Amino acid sequence: MDTYPVTAQCVGRFFRSDGKYLGRAYKDHLSGFRAWEQKDHASRWVLLEQNMGERLSIDETMLHHDLFTFLSNKDGHGRKGTLIAAVKGTTVAEVAGRLDNIPEESRKKVKEVTMDFSDSMMGIVKRSFPQAEIVIDLFHVIQLYGTKGLDAMRMKLKRANTTAVKREEREFRKKQEKRAKASARYRKTHKPRKSANGRRLGRPPKRKNEKFEPNKLSNGETMADLLTHVRYPLMKSPDTWTEFQREEMRLLFQMEPKMKTAFGLLCALRNIFSRNNDRETAKKKLHKWYKNVGNTRIKEIISVRDTIKSKEEYVLNFFNNRSTNAPAESFNSKIKGLRAQVHGVNDLAFFMFRCAKIFG
């Protein structure tokens, strides 16, 4: 339990013993938690300065109803020696104030810190690691374009379609009511005609409870269904689409040319990062991409372009060593996995002690 993220109940089942009793014994006697020097403040911050290195990652995650900022060492590879600091909060004052407890000499040795587009994370790194190169990795750039650009466009189209369908349904109901009133007036002044065999003549009456059906596309889906299903294919490369997704994307691009243009720009952006470009070549290609985005006049992706442009220097730092923030995301997943195994965090200080034991 000191080296693997397993619960006492899991160990108890394996050795056929009382897991609850083992958990209490481990916490109170076997683990050394009661004598841990950071026990008093562990629910607010934990600092393991001996794990400092030259290449770090910083990210935040939700823990015990609060956001915690985790600083990790990439050289730890998600195992022992990975966790450097865990601080409750994400503001510069809260986090950098705790990181200042690390000796300045160690902080100045940091050469690189990877992160996302968060302004608070950037402020923390600039204050605590002034000599470090800040890198915003390609995954967060693509994610930003997907969520703030393509997905925003998709949701805008979906809301417009929902409004149009509701308007069509209201008009359909009005026609129903108008037809019912006209039929009632006609019946008052005309007797129904019948044929020789007693069957009623004339066109069959419309049902009063006739159900409204929105227009269907060629694949049998409504536009709302299509816009729901294309959420994930929009973020994937066309090479990975299934036949069903390929048909849906064909219909979407046929009906909404702007979505096709925006998706093409996503593929162009992905190509800039996936190829082995040096920094100067990538910068030229990125500036050409900026111009192509501006020509579209689509405000959602123009907004994304402006965000990337404002932090272009840090985005281009990716091409120096092609470093990503994947180790931090992986480390966050392991923290969440441990939290899921223990079915939530009742004692935050003890949970942080276990994190320090396993990943520190």
Encode the chain (360 residues) as per-residue pLDDT tens digits: 667 777 777 777 777 777 777 777 777 777 788 888 988 998 899 999 999 999 999 998 888 788 899 999 998 888 888 999 999 998 999 999 999 999 999 999 999 999 999 899 999 999 999 999 999 988 899 999 999 999 999 999 999 999 999 999 999 989 888 888 888 887 788 777 777 777 777 666 666 667 888 889 888 899 999 999 999 999 999 999 999 999 999 999 999 999 999 999 999 999 998 887 888 999 999 999 999 999 999 999 999 999 999 999 999 999 998 888 888 888 888 888 888 877 767 788 888 888 888 887
**68 has which bridge partners?**
61, 88
Pair of tokens at residue 55: 């290449």
Pair of tokens at residue 41: 């403040």
**pLDDT value of position 341:** 74
Nearest to 144 by CA among 352, 353, 325: 325
Nearest to 354 by CA among 94, 111, 26: 26
Sheet strand arrangement including 112-115: 45-47, 83-88, 66-73, 55-63, 112-115, 133-136
Diameter of the chain measured on Cα atoms: 107
First to last CA, the chain: 13
pTM of the model: 0.81
Helix (H, G, I), strand (E, B) or coil at 343: coil
Q: Which long-range contacts (CB under 8 A, 24 or more apart) does 23-29 make?
A: 26/1, 27/347, 27/350
Q: Which domains, ranges and CATH numbers included, belong to the chain?
A: 1-31 (no CATH), 41-136+323-359 (3.30.420.10), 140-185+213-318 (no CATH)
Nearest to 322 by CA among 260, 264, 276: 276
In angstroms, rounded to a whole number, what is the distance separating the alpha carbons of residues 271 and 265?
Answer: 10
**47 has which bridge partners?**
85
In angstroms, rounded to a whole number, what is the distance separating the alpha carbons of residues 327 and 118?
Answer: 17
**pLDDT value of position 354:** 84
**pLDDT value of position 80:** 87
Pair of tokens at residue 57: 């990652």
